[in-house]
Amino acid sequence: MTLENLLKIGQLKVHSTDRGEVQQLLDAARRNLVDAAVEAISLETRFDAAYKTIMQVAMVALLANGYRADSRGHHQIMIQSLPLTIGLAKDRMVILDALRRKRNAADYLGSYVDRDSLEACIVEARLLLNDVERWLGENRVELV
């Protein structure tokens, strides 16, 4: 699958971005990562903040490639497109997708979020933020 194929089947739409849009999302992602570390709030809320970081950063990766998710299941599309947008290793994408499923269970079924899942989500969010910032610096310097 390519980004062009995802566009053809209606999973993506063409989008032109700029430095302001990218920086606004990256700033929000950084704030969410900080919020995820606040011990005074529940594990579920902290997990949600870390997961939101992943989504915002995955959105930046798509935007920097000229696309935006445009469908039901946009979280899945954004995560599963990371190997195409920034060359993320597939095993890392699988971990991010498992975190997506964990977030869905917490949000829609009221499932419990354990400390290990929270810590994994924070680590993966931080790694992805670093990966996307590095990719932008190497490939789309005008956006940083």
Residue 1: its pLDDT value, please?
A: 82
Got the DSSP string for 86-113?
T---HHHHHHHHHHHHHHHHHHHH----
Closest to 140 measured CA to CA, from 61, 31, 30: 61
Residue 72: its pLDDT value, please?
A: 73
Does the predicted TM-score (pTM) go above 0.85?
yes
> Where does residue 96 rank: exposed (0-12), middle (13-18), buried (19+ CB within 10 A)?
buried
The pLDDT profile of the chain, 144 residues, written as one tens digit per residue, is 899 999 999 999 999 999 999 999 999 999 999 999 999 999 999 999 999 999 999 999 999 999 999 877 799 999 999 999 999 999 999 999 999 999 999 989 989 999 999 999 999 999 999 999 999 999 999 999
Residue 10: phi and psi, rounded to 5, are 85, 10
